[in-house]
């Protein structure tokens, strides 16, 4: 099986109702598929490390998930604890309210503190913009500029849980869009990469995002994507 797509996947194990049994099964699937990493909730890092030891699949976790509203000091502690338990990748949710307030000093200091903490453990960082809330592209461009300055390895489109309340009272969610992945790829510069996450359910979805510049894919549909590869009969 070609690793061109599956080897870019961060297999997401983040659903609020996920049981310990489902977590273990998800880690075993990640090992079987040979994805890039699993992305687990912070309490699950040690379990994932145990299951995936020696597999080549990295263990990552989320910081300030899902709405980015924790104090900066808490996000830094989350990062430290996760890395001490073995996480080698952290996905940080920005403080969305501060972004929309254009309090860029606050946003930059927070991202820098988390990035520096992760780097002190040799872990890489992915900064989640949660683009569903950022209708104006200038917010995304400014965030790319900040992330580049502070040394983040990735910028990421979405958490997968950024449901936005609509005028009628219902909630809607787009996740990774072609326009956002293209924009973020254009502004990531040479130092950073782009992770597309949210709504990637098929091999065709995944390939489209890669063609637009994404080098990591956040999804829980890893098995379906692997099965849908053109050479999936070899899997």
156 belongs to the catalytic site? yes
Residue 28 parent element (H or E): helix 20-33
Q: 186 with 164: CB under 8 angstroms?
A: no
Catalytic residue among 31, 75, 91, 126: 91
Q: Which two tokens stand for residue 210?
A: 């890669």
| Strand pairing report for 193-197 and 154-156 | parallel
Dihedral sign for Cα atoms in the order 84, 85, 86, 87: negative
Dihedral sign for Cα atoms in the order 26, 27, 29, 30: positive
95/111 Cα distance (integer angstroms)? 9
Catalytic residue among 10, 156, 180, 205: 156
DSSP string, 148-214: HHHT-SEEE---S---EE-TTS-EE---S-HHHHHHHHHHSTTT-EEEEESS--SHHHHHHHHHTT-
140 belongs to the catalytic site? no
162/156 Cα distance (integer angstroms)? 13
19/229 Cα distance (integer angstroms)? 29
91 belongs to the catalytic site? yes
217/156 Cα distance (integer angstroms)? 9
Q: Which two tokens stand for residue 104?
A: 């860029």
**Residues carrying an active site annotation:** 91, 156, 195
């Amino acid at each position: 099986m070609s690793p061109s797509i599956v080897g870019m996947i961060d297999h997401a194990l983040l659903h609020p109702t996920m049981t310990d049994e489902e977590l273990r099964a998800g880690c075993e699937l990640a090992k079987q598929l040979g994805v890039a990493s699993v992305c687990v909730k912070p309490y699950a890092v040690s379990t994932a490390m145990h299951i995936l030891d020696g597999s080549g699949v990295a263990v990552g976790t989320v910081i300030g998930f899902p709405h980015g509203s924790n104090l900066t000091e808490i996000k830094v502690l989350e990062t430290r604890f996760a890395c001490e338990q073995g996480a080698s990748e952290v996905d940080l949710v920005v403080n969305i309210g501060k972004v929309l307030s254009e309090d860029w000093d606050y946003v930059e200091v927070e991202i820098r503190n988390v990035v520096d903490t992760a780097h002190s453990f040799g872990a890489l960082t992915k900064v989640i913009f949660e683009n569903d809330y950022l209708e104006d592209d200038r917010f995304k461009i400014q965030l790319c500029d900040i992330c580049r300055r502070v040394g983040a390895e990735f910028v990421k489109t979405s958490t997968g849980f950024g449901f936005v309340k609509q005028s009628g009272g219902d909630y809607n969610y787009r996740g990774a869009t072609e326009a956002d992945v293209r924009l973020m790829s254009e502004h990531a510069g040479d130092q950073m990469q782009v992770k597309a996450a949210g709504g990637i359910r098929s091999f065709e979805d995944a390939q489209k995002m890669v063609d637009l510049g994404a080098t990591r894919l956040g999804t829980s549909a890893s098995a379906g994507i692997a099965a849908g590869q053109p050479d999936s009969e070899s899997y």
